[in-house]
Amino acid sequence: MTGGAFAAVDLGASSGRVMVGRAGPDTLELSAVHRFPNEPVAVGGTLYWDVLALYRGVLAGLRAAGAVTSIGIDSWAVDYGLLDGTGALLGNPVHYRDARTDGIPQGVAGIVPDDRLYARTGLQKLPFNTLYQLVAAAGTPQLAAAERLLLMPDLIAYWLTGVAGAERTNASTTQLLDLRTGDWARSLMAELGIRPSLFPELCAPGDRIGPVRPGVLPHPADVLAVGSHDTASAVVGVPAGGPHFAYISCGTWSLVGVELDAPVLTEASRLANFTNEGGVDGTVRYLRNVMGLWPLQECMRAWGDPDITGLLRSAAAEPGRTAVADLDDPGFLPPGDMPARVVAAAGLPADATPARITRCILDSLALAHRRAVRRAQELSGRHVDAVHIVGGGARNDLLCRLTADACGLPVLAGPVEATALGNVLVQARAAGVVGGDLAAMRALVRQTQRIVRYQPGGNAAAWLAAERRVGV
């Protein structure tokens, strides 16, 4: 291997891992050094993240990684930890799937109408956005005692370095960042009773956060800001050869969209519930959150975690598009008896087999991908020639084939580790071992990573009929 070594800490909704990447002008390689579970905990009717267990896993991984040039941290969006005046954590962060925000968006709309909120922040209306979480937490002793709010990757970086900050790509998901100024929307916070003083100074991907504190790790290293929202890093790792592409960062969620130079703030965009999130190098991730593989993951948990390869093989043999559901229905958001919810929503027989339910979920997800890709083009004016699927969903051959078929576009699947690759590339560029803009970094991904191409099957009429049955 040639080039520098960089540690990518990637925290997902069900697991975390530490990867070591080696990068150079013609090199981009990854190795996993530690994986650890991320298991939420329900206490007293509230669902929490076990953030101290996550930090323990991060430390174990970084110690196993050995000497590296720098460390970058990415995670899911919107959730946060609260610190008191001494920097101590005031309790485990609440999970975005917790029910505390039920009804909160409607109340917020009575103070700040949805159209004004969208014009200011450009964010998709989702009940778990940080703004709604903070309004739901109003009046709690914990929030009253807080002096600082840190999003999840910023919290881990703070524990490593002692430096509190907020990286822009993740800050852009809070619904509290002003698109016009690029700074925190302090007047909006004041309208909603949220203290602006909770929010730290913003930084950008590639900025140095600080050195790891002495004694925390056996080797010195700097912690750098990367695209700390995992989708921002994943989009860096999309191996596109030009601007006319759609991406699907597919895992527990499917983030479906296009990359733009400026936000789309039209009323049509707001009503379609598309979001304008920050990307690396000042780009805009214009996308829509789709439920993703979460329903299948929950079904598999209910079925006792069967072998996924065999299940997908059986699902591929089932007739296609005979039963579909709107996976964006909020009824699929909470954990619980997912097979029964899918059966009821799709009109499947009560004794439907796991293979039949799986085929229904994947057909429905391909339909959701189709809708989002088409609407992204219509609303942004950006034509798409191909769809890139990155993340864990790139391993799912059936889903990739169905998505190509449904969209009527070639699907290029991979890399699976796009998030970690994007994380490493931003660090490597900051270190000067790779150069260039996003196009140059993506060229390196194309040169070094395995990509599988799926051609559409020409079933446009059948997919249109299925879409009409869903009725969205």
- Would you name the residues annotated as active-site residues? 230
Residue 136 DSSP label: H
Structure tokens at 93: 């962060």
Q: Cβ(417)–Cβ(381) under 8 Å?
A: no
Structure tokens at 34: 């530690």
Between strands 254-260 and 284-290, the pairing is antiparallel
Q: Cβ(282)–Cβ(272) under 8 Å?
A: no
Crossing angle (nearest 10°) for helices 308-316 and 397-407? 40
- H or E segment to which residue 254 belongs: strand 254-260
Question: Residue 160: is it exposed, middle or buried by C-beta count within 10 angstroms (0-12/13-18/19+)?
Answer: buried
Taking the C-alpha atoms of residue 392 and residue 394, their distance in angstroms, rounded to an integer, is 5
Taking the C-alpha atoms of residue 463 and residue 23, their distance in angstroms, rounded to an integer, is 42
Q: How many residues does the chain have?
A: 472
CA Rg value for the chain: 21
Ramachandran bin of 327, using left for φ above 0, alpha for ψ from -120 to 50, beta for the remaining angles: alpha
Tell me which amino acid residue 338 is.
Answer: M
Residue 229 DSSP label: B
Taking the C-alpha atoms of residue 274 and residue 372, their distance in angstroms, rounded to an integer, is 9
Q: Give 235's Cβ-side CA count (13 Å radius).
A: 29
Q: Which residues, in sequence order, are bridge partners of residue 16?
A: 11, 36
Question: Residue 330: is it exposed, middle or buried by C-beta count within 10 angstroms (0-12/13-18/19+)?
Answer: exposed
- Buried b / exposed e across 365-375, counting CB within 10 Å, b at 16+? bbbbbbbbbbb
Q: Following CA atoms 381, 387, 390, 395 in sequence, which dihedral angle do they give, to the nearest 10 degrees?
A: 160
Distances (CA, A) of 139 to 148, 193, 194, 262, 450: 16, 10, 11, 37, 51
Neighbours of 190 (CB within 10 A): 11
